[in-house]
Amino acid sequence: MFPEKIEQAYELLLEGSQLLQNVLESNFFEGYIENGGNVIEGYTTKVVDDVPNEETTTHLNELYRKLQALDLAPEEWRKVAQLVLLKGSVTEPLQANHQLTPDSIGFLFVFLIEQLYAGKKEVTILDNTIGMGNLLLTVLTNLALAGIKGEAYGVDVDDTLLTIAAVNADMTGVDLQLFHQDGVGDLKIEPVDVVIGDLPVGYYPDDKKAARYQMFSKVGHTYAHHLLIEQGMKQVKEGGFGIFLVPTNLFSSEQSKQLKEWMENSAYLQGIIQLPENLFKTENAQKNIVLFQKHGGDAKQAQVLVASLNSLTEPTKIQLFFKQFLNWKENNNF
């Protein structure tokens, strides 16, 4: 299914991660981080107090020698990392809100950014829930292949996931700055062209902090994904875009009134892309891609794009969506 080079790299990175997991008596993801650290630090095993022992160190160094010889390109590294992390999450299941965004969805983000920023040589991008980084790295490595340089920022509250993102960013060599902090909070970066995110779904526990936002709900806790959309769009330049993976009930939930009120003076809803149901394990877990544009600059309300993609594997269906998007873009002067 994958080119031999990717298969070989997958086996090597997986074996190294599992070996270090055992040596450290930790979980798979800690092993992955340690292994990735060795790869980044010159394809050599870090030994502390004779751990790992000589035999394991020799074996690991042999894996790294083979991995280095494969001379992977950035997008190949990204693919291999994704496959190894997916394998790891089979043995150590992650909660739904922590799972990486599959590249079948990431490629749609790439297409949207490429189209919305056509003609630009550089784009600044923020992912304010970067997790293990697969979505943002899919975007960055594929924009680079299309001749667009991405300068990116990633934020996450989870230390382990953010460290994995850091390892993957170093392996792929992308231009990415990471922030370990709550995405519902101020960020010390200049406004970006576009904000993206596969948003966690659920309630945000800190009502005091949530009260600073227009989408604050006076009843119960506010939805975390609402606050992350509002904060994300604050970080975007005037007329810039926000592309988010959100629950399908975004505009019909009990807190959708606050979302619509926020939209009135902050952002235009320019598009909704429905994704195939079979991508998600349960009906509740289903998500759409929404496209917001911040008020200001040349931005104005377009005819809202409503597209339904019922397969991400059949090229003809994807081509149809691309055509629909290009027509919409032309008709609305984007």
230 binds ligand SAM (CB under 6 A): no
Is residue 177 classed as helix, strand or coil in its secondary structure? strand
Of 129, 141, 235, 288, the residue at the interface with ligand SAM (CB under 6 A) is: 129
Report if residue 133 touches ligand SAM, rule: CB under 6 A. Answer: yes
For residue 13, what are its two tokens?
């990175």
Q: Which is nearer to ligand SAM, 99 or 248 (CB)?
A: 99
Q: Using the rule CB under 6 A, is 200 a contact of ligand SAM?
A: yes
Q: How far is the CB of 329 from ligand SAM (least distance, A)?
A: 25
- How crowded is residue 201: how many other Cβ atoms within 10 Å of its Cβ? 18
For ligand SAM, the closer CB: 77 or 268: 77
Q: Does residue 161 interact with ligand SAM by CB under 6 A? A: yes
Binding range to ligand SAM, per CB under 6 A, among 67-75, 92-100, 187-195, 273-281: 92-100
Q: Are strands 149-156 and 122-127 parallel, antiparallel or unpaired?
A: parallel
Distance of CA 62 to the CA centre of its chain: 32
Q: Name the segment binding ligand SAM (CB under 6 A); options: 30-38, 129-137, 172-180, 317-325.
A: 129-137
Q: Which CB sits closer to ligand SAM, 178 or 269?
A: 178
**Residues with Cβ < 8 Å from 288, sequence gap 6 or more?**
245, 246, 247, 248, 250, 272, 273, 274, 275
Rounded CA-CA distance 291/300 in Å is: 13
Residue 79 beta carbon to ligand SAM: minimum distance, rounded to whole angstroms:
13
Q: What angle do CA 216, 218, 222 make, to 5 degrees?
A: 45
One of 156, 169, 194, 328 touching ligand SAM (CB under 6 A): 156
3-state helix, strand, coil split of the chain in percent (to 5) is 45, 20, 35
| Binder of ligand SAM out of 224, 246, 259, 272 (CB under 6 A) | 224
Q: Does 101 bind ligand SAM (CB under 6 A)?
A: yes
Token pair belonging to 210: 């949530």
Report the distance separating Cα 173 and Cα 137, nearest Å.
10
Q: Any contact of residue 307 with ligand SAM (CB under 6 A)?
A: no
The residue ranges that bind ligand SAM (CB under 6 A) are: 97-101, 129-135, 155-158, 161, 182-184, 198, 200, 224
